[in-house]
Each structure stands twice: as C-alpha cells, then as structure tokens.
Structure 1
Amino acid sequence: MSNQTPTYLEVYAQWLPVYKTKVGESTFDKTERDFNNHILPILGSLQLDNITQEMCQQYFNQWSVVIEHSNKLRTYAARVFNFAIKLNYIESNPFDRIKVKKVQRKYDDKIYTRELLTEFLAACKNELEFQYYTFFHLLTYTGLNKGEMLALTWEDVDFDKNTLRINKTISKGAELYTRFYDDYDLLNRNIPIDDETMANLKIWQELQAIYLNMADNDNNQLLFTSNKNTILQLSAPAKWIKKVSVKLPKGEITIKGFRTTHEHLLFEAGGEMLAIKERLGLSTETRSRRMMEVRAEDRMELMEKVTNLLKY
C-alpha cells in the first residue's frame, strides 16, 4: 500500500465507469446526480486514509436531517470505499460501523384494501379508455413496476399457457428506450396470470388492432402506447390515475402503491417465499438455483391465492 492514498474523488472516478456497466441509464443518472449533489462536495477532496468513521457518522447524520433517501446515499458512498479496498488503497470501510436509525415503513397510505382496489378498478372501467383499465387491472394482479408494464409487447403474452414474460423495462436517458434484462438477471421472469386478466388482455388486443388499423397482430407491438403508437412517458400512468374519481382517504392512489399492495397480498396469501420473490423479481438467489427450487405448482398456487384474495 502506498504512503499517500488517493482522494475520494480520484477513486470515485475509477469506480464510476465500472458501476455504469451494471445498471440502466436512468439509475446511473440518478446515482451520478446524488454523488455530485451530496457526496462529492463533502468527501471528494479528502484523502481516503484521512476519512474516519466519526466523520462518516457526522456526514450521514447531516444527510438524514435534510435528505429522505439518506440511507441510499450512505450505500453509494460506501461502495467507493469498498472499491478502494479491492484496489488495496485502504484496509477498511469507515461507513461499515456507523449507526443507522431504522425508519419504520408507513404502510397506511401505500397498501390498498381489496375493497378500495375493487372500487378503483370499477371506476377505471367506467371512466377511462379500455387501454387504461386494462393497464391498471394487469398492474393490480401482477405487481409489475411501471417501466416493465410500459415495455410489454404481445410477444410477452402467452394466451395458451396463461403466462406473462417480463424481460425488459422502459428506461429514461436522453430519451426513452427499452432496456432488456440479461438472461441471467433475476428480473427476467415468467409468471402465471389469472383467467379474467387474460380475457381483458385478449379484448384489448383486438380493440388495439382496430384502433391502430392493423390487419394482423404484430407480436412486437407494445401493449400500451400513446395515441401515436409510441412509447408512453413513465409519468403517463400517474396522469391516468388523476382522471379516476376514486381516491385514498389521505390522498391520491399512486403507481408504486399497486406493487407494494401486491407484495403485501402475496405474503398475506401465505405463498412460498421463493415463489413470491420470483414473481416480483426480488430474489437474491442465483437464477439457476431459483429455477430449480421454485416449482411450477408453487407459482400457480401463489397466483390463485392472490387472485382469490382480490376477488372474494
């Protein structure tokens, strides 16, 4: 190890290109913005071996007061130190042992009851175009994130097997683009879909072909598009919600709330843990191990349980 270690900024400059290869463009842009706005102004000019645990604790405490995602900043800042350890610049990470106050998650405004979801979907069906109703119905029964929803094509829908393939998402860089998940990515998954949801998708496929004047169904056609048949802005679903009369007692229903609610319902249904993680793309297991351990009957049983919770 050299007598003089590099500065935090110098190691960050080495780490950043490596990090860029592992994440999507929108995630990279947000991370880089967090470093430029919050982390580098404090740590950038300091030599690594001069940064102590006490200093990091103080910086984290400052972030916690004014920044909601302070834990994320802590994680980002620590990654540069871990990278420096791999390069033998330092021996330990000063962020490893700082005290982090656990924040209790507030589910009151983020988890929707079955009655509220039923009321919301009924209002969507009566008040919105069928495309938007289909979107929210599929969102309710799958828990996909909005990027995955907006990236779906008809090739992803298997009407014979009642399954949905999730292998891509819409990301935002200089402009919107489709980012495909790697084959080994845990987000790349196939999930079973209930009969009613599949029936809605079939109706929408036929209606869409009429609206777009397509003689034959194009498997590469996006399920949900703008009026010009282009990729929808990621903010579009939130605008659709505002058109619906049903609201939460304490505010509007949010897109993120659908995924949080679906996750909650999966656990409430008592599904197998690996099947739950696979359905949501949350598993920490390797893809090969996950595929071995999650049985087809577990996937189907999980879908049936959450469908029954929503309906009865």
Structure 2
Amino acid sequence: FLYCTEFLLFGEDIDRESVGDYLTAVGGSELIVGDAGQYKLHVHTNDPGSVLAHVTALGEVAEVHVNNMRRQKAVRDAGLAAESPNEPPKHVGFVAVAVGDGFAEILRSLGADVIVNGGQTMNPSTKDIAEAISQVNAEKVVVLPNNKNIQMAAQAAASVSDRVVAVVPTRSVPQGFAALLAFDGEAEFDEAVAVMTEAAAAVHTGEVTTAVKDAKSKAGDIATGQIIGIVDDEEIEAVGGDVAAVALELARVLAADGVVDTLTLFAGQDFTDEQLVELGTRIAEALPELEIESHRGEQPLYPVVMSAE
C-alpha cells in the first residue's frame, strides 16, 4: 500500500466493528483506538480519498494525515535526517525498541524515526539506545523501550543525551503502538508524554512462547518445552502443548474483566497466515463480544502476541 492514513473520527452512533471491517477490506496495518464516540484510526491504503469519503458519512473527521510511504522510505534510505546538517529538526522525534519486521513497519508508519533491534532475551545496551537518540533529527525525543527490562537502559540513555529526552515506560510493542497513536503534536511536550503514558498503560499484552525450563505457576506446573501464555510480562496464565489452545486461554484471561472490546493478534515469524486466520476464528467463536484484529509482527520466539483494549 502506498499511503499511510491517520485521522480522528467523532460520532455517537459509530459502529467500531463495522469501521474495522471496512478498513481491513480496503487496506492493511489498520489500527483503531478509542471509544465513546471518539476514535483515532490508522490504515495503509492505495486510496485515502475513498477511506475519508466513507468515514465522513459516519461522523466528523479531524486531524487528517496522509503520508506517501514510498517517498518516506526513499528519504529514510537516503539518510537525509541523519546526514544533512541543513535539514531543520522537527519538534519531537521517536525511538522505539522492537524485533520483527512487521512490528518495525507498524512503528515506523505510526511515526517512529529509529527502530532499535531488541526485545525479550535480546536487550539493547544504553549505548545502542543513546546512538539511536542521536540519529533522530528532532529537538526533543521520546523513547519507547517496549519491554520492562529495557526501561533502565532507556532512562540511562536519556540522561546522557544532549537534548530533551523522555521515556514512556512501555512494556510491550502493542503499548508502543498505543502511545504513538495518542501523541498530540500540538500539546506541550510534558503533557504529550503524559497522555502517551496513560494510553500505553491502558493496553494489556498477552504473549505465547515456549518454556525454557521447568517451573511452577498459577496456571500449574510447567515442563521445559511446553507452551505458556504470559500477561503483561508478569504472570504465566496458561500452560499447554498447543500454541492455539494456549492463545485461546490467554484471550479468555485478557477478556475476563469485561472491559475489553478489541483483541489484536500479531503473528510471529513461524506462525503462518493460515494459522493466524484459524486462531482468529476460534477466538471470535469463543468470545463473540470481542472485535478481533490480526497483523503480522514477524517477531521471533513468540508465535503469537496479542493486545487487549
């Protein structure tokens, strides 16, 4: 898709699920956040005009941004921001930590300037993050560590930078998505960072992976090689021998409080499109009250990551 399209949509009678279905039909990397008649939407599409025409029939639209991703990539590949001293800095730039081409693509489309390769078991150093900050051509920089084990390195990198740097304490890549979507370029920097932090905290993340050692958990005894489901990088909430079954149980846990209305699935590099569709269908059948969205994250080690909002 050629165009990255973002906008706010206001309307009391908007059906979020039908809007999501429409965006899925006309584009990719679609994201919707918000509720109670106020939404922020993001989609990659070849026809932003049609998207905007469709949504203006549903409600009021504001803060429309359409970026040509082919031209953005050409500028990024040329390294203009980092290499040209004559290029004026923008007001705020972003550094995000992630591993997986799909995750990185979505982060860039949401405004991340530099992606630091890293995540669970592959934490970048303070130096790595400091160098990334220095590559951003901006007066102020926001860092999204996207993992609790990287937050300390991010804070240390911020403290040695020669510019104003804030760290939004994101604990997962989906929290990083929410933070970037919540950024308000018109607000004061501290206020914008506070809003990003609040938006990130509202997102709960589930991760499906393989146990590397025997252990005990609230979900029962765990044997090396079993599939486990973790919530918010803290509690192991599901254990089993099958990725899909554990992912389904994890979805039930995330939805248990009754306030979740959207579950977004991100497929890892070893989880096929067919498996992703099948998993989405199983979750939709088991939890019909949820809207299910799916993307490719291409992350290693975690065949499925999910976010609940």
| TM-score, L = length of structure 2 | 0.24
Which is strand-richer, 1 or 2? 2
Computing the radius of gyration from Cα coordinates, the structure with the larger value is 1
Q: Which has the higher helix share?
A: 1
* TM-score, scaled relative to structure 1: 0.24
